[in-house]
């Protein structure tokens, strides 16, 4: 069994030991404020990663001599789900366009690459990330209306 030494006076773990705390190969008892706690690491519970978030905390239980895992499962917020599809959260906007559009307007891809702006391609769709649409590009945006979508990064409510 794996154990851990815990110093209650500092709230710190001192060390981990396979087969218990030993000195010169022999079990060595400890006295408060030092405690030797058995480590119980429980299995991760079943959850749906598409709609839920899981977290694990290790809890000190001195009366029962345990250092144990406690799992929490909660539903994802609408914001978290929306942000999973937002490939580059550091950017405020994204332009969504079919890849064929690049053949008609190759300067768009060149402009994004020259300016070190990310482009993500997924199943025939381009996601081009930026922080603003420049006035000089508005004519192109207007010309591709209905083909190109411009979205603002999701915000938490």
Over residues 19-38, the pLDDT tens digits come to: 999 999 999 999 999 999 99
Share of the chain above pLDDT 90, in %: 80
> For the chain, which residues make up each domain, given as ranges?
2-75, 79-152
Q: How far is CA 13 from each of CA 3, 6, 83, 88, rounded to the nearest angstrom?
A: 11, 4, 36, 37
3 state DSSP class of 134: coil
Look up tokens 């209905």; give the residue.
Answer: 146
Q: pTM higher than 0.75 for the full model? A: no
Q: What is the pLDDT at residue 138?
A: 84
157 has pLDDT over 80: no
Q: Which fold has domain 79-152?
A: Alpha-Beta Plaits (3.30.70)
Higher pLDDT: 109 or 14? It is 14
CA distance 112 to 133: 12
């Amino acid at each position: 069994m794996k154990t851990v030494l815990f110093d209650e006076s500092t709230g710190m773990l001192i060390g981990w030991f396979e087969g218990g705390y030993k000195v010169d190969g022999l079990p060595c008892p400890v006295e408060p404020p030092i405690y030797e706690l058995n480590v119980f690491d429980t299995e991760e519970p079943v959850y749906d990663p598409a709609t839920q978030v899981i977290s694990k905390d290790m809890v000190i239980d001195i009366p029962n001599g345990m250092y144990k895992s406690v799992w929490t499962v909660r539903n994802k917020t609408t914001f978290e789900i929306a942000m999973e599809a937002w490939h580059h959260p550091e950017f405020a906007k994204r332009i969504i366009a079919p890849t064929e559009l690049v053949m008609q307007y190759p300067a768009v891809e060149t402009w994004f690459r020259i300016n070190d702006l990310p482009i993500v391609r997924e199943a025939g769709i381009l996601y081009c990330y930026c922080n603003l649409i420049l006035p000089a590009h508005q004519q192109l945006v207007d010309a591709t209306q209905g083909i190109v979508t411009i979205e603002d990064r999701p915000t938490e409510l």
